[in-house]
Amino acid sequence: MMQQLFVIKIGGNIVDDDLALNSFLKDFASISAPKILVHGGGKIATKIGNQLGIQSSYINGRRITDAATIDLVTMVYGGLVNKKIVAKLQSLQCNAIGLTGADANLIHAAKRPVKEIDYGFAGDIDAGSVDAHTAEVFLSNNLTLVFAPLTHDGDGQILNTNADTIASALAISLSKVYDVRLIYCFEKQGVLENVEDENSVINLITKEKYRQLINDKKLFEGILPKIDNAFAAIDNGVKEVLIGHANDLLQNVTANTSGTLIK
Amino acid sequence: MMQQLFVIKIGGNIVDDDLALNSFLKDFASISAPKILVHGGGKIATKIGNQLGIQSSYINGRRITDAATIDLVTMVYGGLVNKKIVAKLQSLQCNAIGLTGADANLIHAAKRPVKEIDYGFAGDIDAGSVDAHTAEVFLSNNLTLVFAPLTHDGDGQILNTNADTIASALAISLSKVYDVRLIYCFEKQGVLENVEDENSVINLITKEKYRQLINDKKLFEGILPKIDNAFAAIDNGVKEVLIGHANDLLQNVTANTSGTLIK
């Protein structure tokens, strides 16, 4: 049997909220198995960008990363947010190391091709983009990897990269060496049968159940890409995917008493 | 005989100048031996700070690091400057990893005690602050370490830390495992007998020569701390210290044809 590895992704609802972040990091640090944290950026980049006169622009909900914006997110995600998390984890006796995909060439990306939309300095990755060997060297030296949502193109350019995708690429790539549990923390308690009822969490979604839920039109549309992503991870070697709220998800990280388990 | 290790420090005159930085990184990447780069911050932090309404204040030439300033330098030194250098080194086939002292708990610092002056979030270190074992694990995996001038106190606080001191602490601490050559790049060609004549570089300073130069009052006062630092490193195991201008120092990194060698 392979050793267990947790790959956990947190987004803006935790990163932007000091209390929620502290509480999350305490739970995270208490996981004794090898672990990787991937954090999104949050609103702090937009706030600092506004102060610097850098306007955030979005097309179809996706940030357009121009030259000023890639510098901004490199500073804020790769510096401010990442190093604060690392320093806090160190204070919790968790030996964290803050990383972008450029560091140790861990995640190589391709700049998104310009078609109808030019996303600017946005990077696309898959599991083949990850140097699993170096990640394993770090993990086996008892280091906890903390990734900012940044990669690089190998030609000297940092690229803005979706944190969900970084988490799943890492999870898939490391599933050859570890039993990987991929955990997506978001603002809901889990996948809900009724999006307005936090008590309607679906505890387990198998492929069969998923087909049935789609046929019955039970699911909120916004959750479908997350579930598709989860099954893609499972089809590529990840043992299971858990989706839910950080508050209670990590306290029962092995017990499966909260959130939605996808397997 | 131990393997050679280069520990090289660059300051604002290189970090702030894209052309000088690119040229330096090209020379640096071409060093085939294990190597560590420590970079200062440069004026970019002051510039971005001004835009954000964060005033830099100095007492006796030293920056006072208040809460807003430590966030600023964490962003700018630990994010923007550090990751840009890492991405550029990657494009030069140098497998760099960007680090602060908080990462992997590599450099632990004590917040400078408040006496007459409160320096704020400034960290003091010595060679005992360095986790040489982890640094060695990285180096022996062919990684090039790139340090921002930041450490941490172990209680969750990032601390602003002098880049010269980080370089000498790393050099001393790793001298148990490597033959360390510590190189300080600055704006002059080396230690000058006549501070107004760049052609008056003193090629070699031994302790005896140093005493003689001081007796003869030949040296510019500003250089004395750098030389004292260099001898402190040598007294603690570093093989030799080279002081000079980045332009030609690295092109002849083993030939000793430029700069001032201290041994």
* Domain boundaries, given as residue ranges, for chain B: 4-262
**Taking CB atoms and an 8 Å limit, are A141 and B143 in contact across chains?**
no
Contact assignment for B87 to A77 by CB distance below 8 Å: no
- In this complex, do B100 and A86 lie within 8 Å of one another by their Cβ atoms? yes
Q: What is the pLDDT of residue B254?
A: 57
The mean pLDDT of B165-183, rounded to a whole number, is 96
| Distance from C-alpha of B74 to C-alpha of B79, rounded to nearest angstrom | 7
Contact B152 A87 (CB under 8 A): yes
- A53–B74 C-beta distance less than 8 A: no
* pLDDT given at position B28: 95
Distance (Å, rounded) from C-alpha B203 to C-alpha A121?
Answer: 46
Cα distances from B238 to residues B57, B173, B174, B248, in angstroms, run 35, 9, 8, 22
**For chain B, percent of residues with pLDDT exceeding 90:** 78
Who among A80, A95, A103 is closest to B105 (CB)? Answer: A95
Contact A154 B71 (CB under 8 A): no
- Residue A205: what pLDDT? 95
C-beta atoms surrounding B185 within 10 Å: 23
CA A57 to chain centre: 22
Among candidates A99, A97, A111, which has minimal Cα distance to A156? A111
Per-residue pLDDT tens over the stretch B196-245: 888 899 999 999 999 999 998 888 888 888 899 899 999 999 999 999 98
CB pairs under 8 A between A and B: 124
Residue B252's pLDDT band, with cuts at 50, 70 and 90, is low
Map residue A3 onto helix, strand or coil: coil
- Are A137 and B137 an interchain contact pair (Cβ–Cβ within 8 Å)? yes
Which residues, at least 6 apart from A155, have a Cβ–Cβ distance to it below 8 Å? B91
Residue type, B12: G
What tens digit of pLDDT does each residue of B1-10 get? 899 999 999 9
Of A129, A138, A154, A136, nearest to A97 (Cα)? A138
In this prediction, residues B240-253 reach a mean pLDDT of 80
Instruction: Tell whether the model's pLDDT for residue B257 goes beyond 70.
Output: no
Tell me: pLDDT of B73 over 80: yes
Q: Is the pLDDT score of B127 beyond 60?
A: yes
Q: What is the pLDDT of residues B157-168, one digit of tens each?
A: 999 999 999 999
Nearest residue of A to residue B79, measured between CA atoms: A79
The answer to whether the CB atoms of A80 and B71 lie below 8 A apart is yes
Query: Chain B: residue nearest A155 by CA?
Result: B91
Q: Give me the pLDDT at residue A222, please.
A: 80
Residue of A37, A99, A103 to mutate when probing chain B, most B C-beta within 10 A:
A103
CB environment A206-224: b (16+ within 10 A), e (fewer) = eeeebeebeeeeebeeebe
Three-state DSSP at A150 gives strand
CATH of B4-262, one of 3.30.365.10, 3.40.1160.10, 3.40.1390.20, 3.40.47.10: 3.40.1160.10
Query: Inter-chain contact A103–B88, Cβ cutoff 8 Å?
Result: no
Say yes or no for a CB contact (<8 Å) between B103 and A80.
no
Q: Give Cα separations from B35 to A218, B39, B144, B174, B236 (angstroms).
A: 57, 13, 6, 11, 19
**Band of pLDDT at residue B195, cut at 50, 70 and 90:** confident
Of B82, B87, B143, Cβ closest to residue A152: B87
Pick from B53, B79, B97: CB nearest A76: B79
Which residue is associated with the tokens 């962003």? B75
Contacts of A107 (CB under 8 A, 6+ apart): A100, A101, A125, A129, A130, A131, A147, A151, A152, A161, A166, A169, A170
Which of A25, A26, A92, A97 should be substituted to probe chain B, the one whose Cβ sees the most B Cβ atoms within 10 Å?
A: A97
Interface residue of B18, B72, B95, B105 to substitute, partner A, most A CBs within 10 Å? B105
* pTM exceeding 0.90: yes
Nearest CB to B91 within list A84, A97, A155: A155
Mean pLDDT by 10 residues, chain A (263 residues): 94 92 95 96 91 86 88 97 98 98 98 93 93 98 98 98 95 97 92 88 94 89 87 96 84 69 91
CA distance B123 to B109: 5
Residues in chain A within 8 Å Cβ distance of B88: 156
Residues of B in contact with A86 (CB under 8 A): 100, 102-103, 152
- What values do phi and psi take at A239, rounded to 5? -70, -50
* Mean of the per-residue pLDDT values of chain B: 92
pLDDT at B242: 94
CA atoms of A13 and A47, how far apart (whole Å): 15
User: Model ipTM?
Assistant: 0.95
Residue B10 backbone phi and psi in degrees, to 5: -120, 150
Tell which of B76, B103, B155 to mutate to test the A interface (max A CBs under 10 Å).
B103
| Neighbouring C-beta atoms of residue A186, cutoff 10 Å | 22
- Measured CA to CA, the distance from residue A200 to residue A195 in angstroms comes to 8
Q: Which residues fall within 8 angstroms of residue B109, CB to CB, at 6 or more apart?
A: B101, B123, B124, B125, B129, B151, B152, B153, B159, B161
Pairing type for strands B96-99 and B144-147 reads parallel
